[in-house]
């Protein structure tokens, strides 16, 4: 698996009360983690990378390296989780995707659609780069401009004005698609999760007393549909649903990431 050796960039939390690590300390920790990984001291590498996460560092390189370190320790669930997070931060990272496929080759759960993330997740991955907020602003501006041009053309018909109005309508439609795509991608990604426990029973209800008909195993990707009483209702790529202990699965996009920015 690849290891990023580049200098890490520190991101700060936007909320009041979130501490910001100095860039020099962040770079030093990242370098320490890389050196430990390359020398085979994966426990030290994981400790350094996790310390950076505790300091609110957001970086696809950090997530990829941490995923590689966990994979070397044999912790497939945590490896898959952090590689998924690397892809969330940088959907174009083909190397992280290849690493994730390598991790999943050893998964116990062999689910149809899991390797390619299933239909909806694949669509979400494709639409993820679309600039939702910018596209929505562009849609409003282009839509208004198109109708204004149509009004002008109605008072004094000119082919150039009519063509400009048509172009504005076309580009506003593209902007609307980008807005919808980005919103759909965001909703789907927020529900995506990975099993980090070695195994967990999937029950019929949010209780230890509820019957269990199957288990989920580490590294399996799924969607979280509900949460109640310390359990999460999950849906697998093959459509199976069940309630698993909340600690057994981790969301790819943890709560609070929306408050952070990369520099």
Contact present, 225 and 240 (Cβ < 8 Å)? no
Q: So what's the architecture of 23-106 in CATH?
A: Alpha Horseshoe (1.25)
Tell which wins on pLDDT, 12 or 169: 169
How many angstroms separate the CA atoms of 221 and 117, rounded?
A: 8
Q: What percent of the chain has pLDDT over 90?
A: 43
Model confidence at 244: pLDDT above 90: yes
Tell which wins on pLDDT, 63 or 155: 63
**Average pLDDT in the 136-159 region?**
68
The region of weakest confidence among 10-14, 206-210, 215-219 is 10-14
The three-point CA angle 203-122-120 to 5° equals 55
Model confidence at 14: pLDDT above 90: no
CA distances from 86 to 14, 96, 187, 216, 250 (A): 21, 7, 18, 23, 14
From edge to edge, which strands make up the β-sheet containing 192-195?
212-217, 199-203, 241-245, 231-235, 221-228, 192-195, 249-251
Report H helices in 105-158: 118-127, 132-155
Q: Which residues contact 184 (CB under 8 A, 6 or more apart)?
A: 123, 124, 127
Query: pTM of the entire structure?
Result: 0.67
Fold for the domain defined by 191-251: SH3 type barrels. (2.30.30)
Model confidence at 26: pLDDT above 70: yes
């Amino acid at each position: 698996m690849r290891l990023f050796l580049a200098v890490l960039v520190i991101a700060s939390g936007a909320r009041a009360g979130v501490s910001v690590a100095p860039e020099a300390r962040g770079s030093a920790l990242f370098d320490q983690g890389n050196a430990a990984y390359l020398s085979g001291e994966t426990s030290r590498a994981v400790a350094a990378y996790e310390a950076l996460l505790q300091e609110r560092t957001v970086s696809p390189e950090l997530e990829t390296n941490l995923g590689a370190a966990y994979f070397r320790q044999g912790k497939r669930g945590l490896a898959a989780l952090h590689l998924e997070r690397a892809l969330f931060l940088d959907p174009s990272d083909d190397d992280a995707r290849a690493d994730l496929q390598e991790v999943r080759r050893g998964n116990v759960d062999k689910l149809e659609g899991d390797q390619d993330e299933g239909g909806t997740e694949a669509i979400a991955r494709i639409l993820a780069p679309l600039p939702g907020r910018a596209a929505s602003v562009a849609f409003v501006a282009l839509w208004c401009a198109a109708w204004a041009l149509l009004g002008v053309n109605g008072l004094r018909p000119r082919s150039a004005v009519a063509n400009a109005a048509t172009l504005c309508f076309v580009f506003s439609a593209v902007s609307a698609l980008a807005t919808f795509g980005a919103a759909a991608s965001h909703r789907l990604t927020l529900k995506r999760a990975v099993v980090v426990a070695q195994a967990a029973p999937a029950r019929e209800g949010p209780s230890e007393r509820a019957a269990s008909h199957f288990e989920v195993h580490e590294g399996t990707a799924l969607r979280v549909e509900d949460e109640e009483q310390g359990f999460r209702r999950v849906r697998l790529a093959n459509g199976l649903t069940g309630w698993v202990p909340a600690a057994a699965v981790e969301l790819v996009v943890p709560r609070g990431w929306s408050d952070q920015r990369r520099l």
